[in-house]
Structure 1
Amino acid sequence: MGTTVIGLVVIAIVVLYLIYIYNQLVSLRNQFKNGFAQIDVQLQRRHDLIPNLVEAAKAYLSHEKSTLTQVMEARNNAVSAQKDAARDPGDSTRIQRLGSAENLLTKALANFYAVAENYPELKANETIQQLMEELSSTENRVAFARQAYNDGVMNYNIFREKFPNNLIAGLFAFKETAQLQLESPDARQAPKVSF
């Protein structure tokens, strides 16, 4: 009878520990999904500002249509990747596609800023200045949100990979998740804007 009680206590402890692991995996997964939701809000703001900036600049950059087209194409690609990633922020492929699309958008914006440097009347336009400031501020918010998301993903992946957590994670299909990374070191730098 004593060994039966000890056996039941051991089984109860093991079951409780497995429940703890499962609940912790759920909690960590929800934390990184919340982190992605914060990125999503900031990216949407960024993507909404860009058409306004391009539209305001059209009058000044009429012969720079390829630059404006490149910015809008990169923006549209980033919007598509953002929507796709928002459907499942735990899908590594979608997050990597979003990172690539945002990297291309950052490069297109950097090219736009470089072209804008050659047009003093464009830099002097109050609407353009305000839009560029808002875009720069949004870039900083995106960076902070991305850091919080990546921290959440790191904590989730570390917990998921530890033994015996990895057994529970595999049993309940808790997949590894990718951090949101930029592909090139120059894209990690905020675009320079000067007036």
Structure 2
Amino acid sequence: MQNTATTRTHALPSVKFQSAAAVLAVIAAVALPQVFHLAGAALGLGTALGQTLLPMHLPVLLVGLLAGPYAGVATGALAPIVSFALTGMPMAPMVPFMVIGLASYGLFAGLLRGVCLPAAIRSPFDWLAKLLAAQVAGRVIDAVAIAVAVTLLGNATMTVASVWTAVGTGLPGLILQWLAIPAIMFAVDRHHE
């Protein structure tokens, strides 16, 4: 028989919780890049700080792990659209790719949330493994979307190589995610035990 913490981790939260989490995550995914861009401007870095620290990815991955795949997909799909509508960022040609990439991150993070080790051996590394898998899966989907756009649609603004360039540029943001998200999720686990 499973203990309460393991059961709670496998079961999706209520629709009300998922909806509230998605709304809050979209707000965070729109606001955090603005904070990072303002900080970058103040430091003379322009938008480089946002591109380096990937602030929009953090709430999407976190909500997927906390609230499940529906909230993750909704947040990932809506955040770039809402951000573009309110702030003009990301740039219009990037919006469809960000929708696909972020929705993929949210989906895979949400699907992996239910893959759970027994409570006795659970650690932050369990969440790190889930996070890494979601990030890799999201990047693969992003690369496929870009390949389709380049090959079938003749989109010259993006290349598949840009996925790898983005990984290199965003490495500090990935490291931030690898540190913060497993720590947050482990703390949530401990709180529910």
- Superposition TM-score, scaled by structure 2 size: 0.30
Greater relative contact order, per chain length (Cα 8 Å cut-off, separation 6+): 1
Which has the higher Rg, Structure 1 or Structure 2?
1
